[in-house]
Amino acid sequence: MCEPSEKSLHYSECMWISELANQVRDINYFILIHTISRSIFNRHSPVKLLKVAETRFASNTVMATGFSNVKEVLINTVVDADWKKFRVNGKTPVELKDREVKETLLSDAWWDKLEYLLNFTEPMVDFLRVTDKDSCVLHLVYDMWDNVIDEVKVRALEHEGLDLKTGQSTFFDAIQQLIETRWNKSNTPLHCLAHSLVPKYYSEEWL
């Protein structure tokens, strides 16, 4: 029997992230497009659910963060007595979807996964925020990028209960490959030049 390729292993390790992001988008869309769910949500929440445009700037994480911030509101929405107004005969596509939405939002395991997603992506999002400013940060990029990888590793190993020095996480290996691939696409010689000119990296031998 053929051994699975490293690429396929990494893909399978990260599949739950894509599935989770799709679920967040689907639930957000379902609540917004139906008058019943939208009115129930608005009754329980002082803020509105927002449609997040697909961008390169962590749009999935932005939407997931918004969901996490209104967790209790979403739960209160699906347990509200008016949620039953979706029911007709129990077989329509909308009813099947409303059941799926309710089951998902009442699942502690689902919210735990969402919390973990936000936890290990936080260093990456912080990195993007810092580098997306109108200020001189080019010389800081290399150091920040190393710190991102280290911090993601710490969070992944802690989540899996592994030793921070000797632990091996196939999930972290997959995430590291993905973010390094992205880095290799975005990295330019200017980053290297700016990094090398930072005074704290000078040494008498180098000079």
- Give residue 135's pLDDT band: very low, low, confident or very high (50, 70, 90): low
Is residue 108 classed as helix, strand or coil in its secondary structure? helix
> What pLDDT is stored for residue 55 in this prediction?
58
Query: Does residue 20 contact residue 113 with C-beta atoms inside 8 Å?
Result: yes
What is the rounded CA–CA span in Å between residue 172 and residue 7?
14
- Give residue 36's pLDDT band: very low, low, confident or very high (50, 70, 90): very high
Which amino acid, one-letter code, is at 6? E
Q: Quote the pTM value.
A: 0.78
Q: How large a percentage of the chain has pLDDT more than 70?
A: 75
- Give residue 28's pLDDT band: very low, low, confident or very high (50, 70, 90): very high
Could you tell me the two tokens for 57? 């700037």
Query: Does residue 92 contact residue 103 with C-beta atoms inside 8 Å?
Result: no
What is the rounded CA–CA span in Å between residue 133 and residue 126?
12
**Which distant-in-sequence residues (6+ apart) come within 8 Å of 105 by Cβ?**
27, 74, 75, 77, 78
Condensed to tens digits (0 to 9), the pLDDT of residues 43-61 reads: 999 888 877 666 556 788 8
Q: Is 27 exposed, middle or buried (0-12, 13-18, 19+ CB in 10 A)?
A: buried
> What pLDDT is stored for residue 193 in this prediction?
61
> What pLDDT is stored for residue 1 in this prediction?
37
**Start-to-end CA span in the chain (Å):** 56
pLDDT at 91 over 70: yes
Q: Where are the domains of the chain?
A: 8-107, 111-199
DSSP secondary-structure letter at 89? S
Query: Does residue 28 contact residue 54 with C-beta atoms inside 8 Å?
Result: no
Q: Is 22 exposed, middle or buried (0-12, 13-18, 19+ CB in 10 A)?
A: exposed
